[in-house]
Amino acid sequence: MSTVANIAEPRIIGFHITDEEIMAHLADGRTISVPLAWSWRLSEAIPEQRSKFEIIGDGQGVHWPDIDEDISVEGMLYGIPARRPK
């Protein structure tokens, strides 16, 4: 008997962003969120730029073409904020 669970990789199926929070709705029913401040590009973007996003890579992440920002579901799950360039 195998004790290894069949765990699918998390996939984003829905997405929402506010002035304070980035929220992803996953295929397995979970909703995860991180502070908006974790993305300096999104923090500095205007609401119109934040609202123009696309889910990419079969749900592996989200891309904002107007500000060239990408956030992965893994980054959200493992707590990896975007670093501002020096």
pLDDT per position as a tens digit, 4-54 = 555 689 999 999 999 999 999 999 999 999 999 999 999 999 999 999 999
CATH assignment of 12-78, among 3.40.1110.10, 2.60.120.330, 3.40.50.300, 3.30.2020.40: 3.30.2020.40
Q: Which residues partner with 64 through β-bridges? A: 69
Inter-residue contact 63 to 70 (CB < 8 Å): yes
pLDDT by residue (tens digit) across 42-81?
A: 999 999 999 999 999 999 999 999 999 999 999 999 988 8
| Paired tokens of 61 | 């992440």
Question: In the prediction, which pLDDT does 82 show?
Answer: 82
Instruction: Tell me the residue ranges of DSSP E strands in the chain.
Output: 12-17, 21-26, 31-35, 54-56, 61-64, 69-72
More confident: 78 or 84 = 78
SS3 content of the chain, % helix, strand, coil (to 5): 25, 35, 40
pLDDT for the residue numbered 84:
83
**Domain parsing of the chain, residue ranges:** 12-78
